Chains A and B, each alone.
Chain A
Amino acid sequence: MNQQKKLLICSGASCISSGANKIKAVLEEQIARHNLTSKFEIVETGCMGSCDLGPLMVVSPEGIFYHSLKPRDIKDIAEKHFVNGQIVEGLLYKDPVTGKQIPKIDDIPFFQKQTKIALRNCGRIHPININDYLAVKGYQALQKVLHEMAPEEVIHEIKISGLRGRGGGGFPTGIKWEITRKSELKLEDQTKYVICNADEGDPGAFMDRSILEGDPHSVIEAMVIAGYVIGARQGYVYIRAEYPLAIERLEAAIKAARKYGALGENIFDSGFDFDVEVRIGAGAFVCGEETALIHSIQGGRGEPRPKPPFPAAKGLWNKPTLINNVETLANIPVIILRGGNWYSRFGIESSRGTKVFALSGDINNTGLIEVPMGTSLRTIIYELGGGIPGNKGFKAALIGGPSGGVLTAQHLDLPLDYNTLAKTGAMIGSGGLVIMDENSCMVDIAKFYLDFIQDESCGKCTPCRIGTKRMLEILKWIISGKGKTNDLVELEDLGRLIKETSLCGLGMSAPNPVLSTLKNFRDEYEAHIQEKICPAGVCESLRKTTKKPKAEGGVK
């Protein structure tokens, strides 16, 4: 053993809440006690994805994966593994289906089936340490862009990569960059702006948080590239206050990047100046909407305004502004280094590349996964996700958060991509994927989302401000047993109005969860109204049914 081994300890927010810091402390102590400091280097990394297994440690380069660690386990590992070279079997991952132990991270189906592009560095490097980032080709894309590529070439590369916005809208990134680049700068204007949207408001999605905690430099690098391409000199990251660790790491990384010369004046001697500032939200989902976000950065109420004009023409302080999501940006450096053609090989027609999904709810392996666009729900749930706990039946997957809808058993084999999902009335959105088993009530979930939306509506326009309130009231009546036959028609009617007439994306998509559950589980609604029964037994004011719930039981 002449080569130093790395002990990768996940220090993502989830693992820290599960006690990763304690584990790290004990680990340091043990390494010192056994005089192994020269042989092992402890590296705190960002999220590895399997957050429910935390705290986690990967012994690299072999990739031995220990999970759910307790302080006393570390003593074991140090004595047996580090000193004697024996893997501690009891702490290895056990496949929930086969029951077999899998020692190496890359052999675990949850990781094996993933294609990590946006998450390429998460869980592998120290998030802030710039040398770690440089070791994985960090800032090479920026060097290349600044010294070898014209802005048009960068745009061309992104266009052929087929990358589309990962923030929910799915707008082609290359075209957005091109429009913003071409957007005229008036004489009196100082600059254009680049904004990274890290508001991540969709409850149940946390990929942006993980990227910023685990690999902030890649986002910074992408922002500088974007600035160079569109002709901006100032960037902002708008991040929600609920992510203190991400804010801390991002700010540290920005400092490191400035010191290294990747931010600030005359970046890499190219004559190009660019800097990034962090702005913190204050608890408003609607601030993820780009015009609301702009108002919030300007220090005002986060209320959207009508589009057009789009931010590309009139954005922050009325100057042309490029807004991209964290995950979108994280893809950029690789696309530059490996080429748009390389990226477009992943995924399927019209939806290229990979997408990160946040798996949660009734599923064995919760956490973050990155898969090629077009992967089916079945693969995600039953292969990567390890199936549904207790072998219960799959009932529905909530996708796209409060703007999205439900996918049911009949959608299990559809490819998950922008166009296919649009046809089902759902959407990929930011990639939150909440799995629900047979014991969940769809009316209750629809109410949950509408409650969320109603709470988060900014109140500017009538249909969303009052309309969602009225829809919510109808749902509440249904759940409390006061539903009337006409209610479903009323819901659909109001839903259509709100979608058609609201000012911003929040209202335009607000009725989706209701309309989508109504479409797929109408009988469940009817049971609530006509028989005063909650088939899943969730709604407390209603009786439970003896009927078998509609769900695909026992798929393995």
Chain B
Amino acid sequence: MKVETQPKPDVIKGNENYSRLDKLIEEYKEKEGSLITVLHQAQKIFGHLPREVQIYIAEKMGIPFPEVYGVVSFYSLFSMKPRGKYTIEVCMGTACYVKGAQHILEQLKKELNVQPGEITPDRRFTIETTRCKGACSLAPIIAIGKDIYSKVKPEMTKDILNNYE
């Protein structure tokens, strides 16, 4: 029987991320239906949503933990795995797909040697697929943070990645 240990509550005390989370929960606690908003913000604070953060949110907001996890595991933008410094979003929407998005994805997987959702060993990148960023005219696109690269060809990916430290 293997037991996976996670930080003890005393790690939480005085932890700056958790104090930010506390403030956040305080702000939204009384507002109906704000779990998703809180999760969005918490993911910004922690980079991802590990189990203990979900338990913390559940207990503080008075929502059963299974319900919180039900929500986290439902929405594709929530992740329980750490992400790289940069997330590369490869659009797999229709317009991008018909313009060859899957070749870009293949190329990136090869180049970084990771699968979508995984983090590169140097913790620089995570690849995610997305379903349309609404820039279909520029298809195929990839997005890294706020930057959108348009009409991408597989051979361009190397240069694009070099822009990111």
Contact = CB atoms under 8 A, between A and B. Distances in A.
Interface in A173-196: none
Given A51-B137, A203-B94, A203-B95, A282 B40 contact: yes
A18 B132 contact: no
Given A18-B150, A282-B77, A361-B99, A51 B71 contact: no
Interface residues of A, number: 57
Contacts of B156: none
A512 interface: no
Nearest to B63: A299
Given A18-B138, A299-B35, A285 B131 contact: yes
A223 interface: no
A296 B75 CA distance: 10
Interface in B116-146: 130-139, 141, 146
Nearest to A366: B137
Nearest to A451: B92
A13 B135 contact: yes
B135 A206 contact: yes
Interface string A260-297: 00000000000000000001111111000000000011
Interface in A315-374: 317, 358-362, 366-367
A17 B148 contact: yes
B132 A206 contact: yes
Contact of A298 (B33, B133, B135, B146): B33
A14 B76 contact: no
B93 A301 contact: no
A302 interface: yes
Given A51-B135, A51-B138, A17 B94 contact: no
Given A52-B138, A283-B75, A434-B94, A297 B33 contact: yes
Interface string A416-456: 00000000000000001010100010000100110010001
Contacts of A280: 36-37, 40
Contact of A299 (B36, B97, B134): B36
A17 B40 contact: no
B134 A206 contact: yes
A209 interface: yes
A296 B137 CA distance: 29
Contacts of A361: 94-95, 98-99, 139
Contacts of A359: 137
A300 B131 contact: no
Contacts of B137: 14, 50-52, 359-360, 366-367
B74 interface: yes
Bin the interface of chain B by size.
35 or more
B65 interface: no
A305 to B, nearest CB: 15
Contacts of B99: 361
A339 B78 CA distance: 45
Nearest to B97: A448
B32 A358 contact: no
Contacts, number: 147
B30 interface: no
B130 A362 contact: no
Contacts of A13: 133-135, 148
Given A14-B137, A18-B138, A201-B131, A299 B95 contact: no
A17 B134 contact: no
Nearest to B93: A203
B98 A362 contact: yes
Given A361-B98, A432-B94, A434-B94, A300 B135 contact: no
A448 B133 CA distance: 17
Contacts of A452: 92, 131
Contact of A282 (B33, B67, B76, B91): B76
A241 B134 CA distance: 11
Given A204-B94, A302-B75, A361-B95, A209 B134 contact: yes
Interface of B: 32-37, 39-40, 67, 70-71, 74-78, 91-99, 130-139, 141, 146-150
Given A17-B150, A203-B95, A279-B36, 14 more contacts: A13-B134, A50-B137, A204-B95, A206-B135, A297-B33, A299-B33, A299-B37, A300-B70, A300-B71, A301-B74, A303-B74, A434-B95, A448-B94, A448-B97
28 contacts: A13-B135, A14-B135, A14-B138, A16-B148, A17-B147, A52-B138, A203-B94, A203-B131, A204-B95, A206-B136, A241-B40, A242-B132, A279-B37, A280-B40, A281-B36, A281-B75, A282-B75, A296-B36, A299-B34, A299-B37, A300-B35, A302-B74, A303-B74, A360-B139, A361-B99, A366-B137, A432-B94, A440-B98
